[in-house]
Amino acid sequence: MEEKSTCKVCVTGGAGYIGSSLVQKLLDKGYIVHATLRNLEDESKVGLLKSLSGADKRLKLFKADIYKAEEFEEAIQGCEFVFHVATPLLHSQGSQVWDCPPGARVFI
């Protein structure tokens, strides 16, 4: 494994509860972190991530929609690991069915 000071990792859903905690732990350990967010205009979430210790030098933020796989390409470019902790955002109580990309299907 590369030295942590040059090892890049990506955290999808970086502004969420689990994602932001993971980003902080990775920054604390010296990793370069690429974090994805649904909306880079959301100052509360962007501000939270930018305020983390080490973020000024080792954190880069990317906009990516979980339903558009191609939007993650730039964020994961050059990364050794990807921590996929992003989740879909549902605004209604009704059930929604999404077509799952072939690579994400699990066969039992």
**What superfamily would CATH give domain 8-104?**
NAD(P)-binding Rossmann-like Domain (3.40.50.720)
* Residues 69-73, mean pLDDT to the nearest whole number: 95
pLDDT digits (tens, 9 = 90+) for 76-104: 999 999 999 998 876 565 656 666 666 56
Q: How far apart are CA 22 and CA 82, in angstroms?
A: 12
* Side chain identity at residue 27, one-letter code: L
Q: Please, what's the b/e burial string for 72-93 (b: 16 or more CB within 10 A of its CB; e: otherwise)?
A: beebbeebeeebebbeeeeeee
Q: Tell me, what's the pLDDT at 88?
A: 82
Per the model's pLDDT, the better-predicted residue between 35 and 3 turns out to be: 35
Q: What is the pLDDT of residues 15-34, one digit of tens each?
A: 999 999 999 999 999 999 99
* Residue ranges of domains in the chain: 8-104
36: pLDDT confidence band, cut at 50, 70 and 90? very high
- The torsion angle over the Cα atoms of residues 23, 32, 47 and 93, rounded to 10 degrees, is -40
Q: What are phi and psi of 98, to 5 degrees?
A: -115, 140
Burial of 9 (0-12, 13-18, 19+ CB in 10 A): buried
Distance, first Cα to last Cα, the chain: 33
pLDDT of residue 6: 81
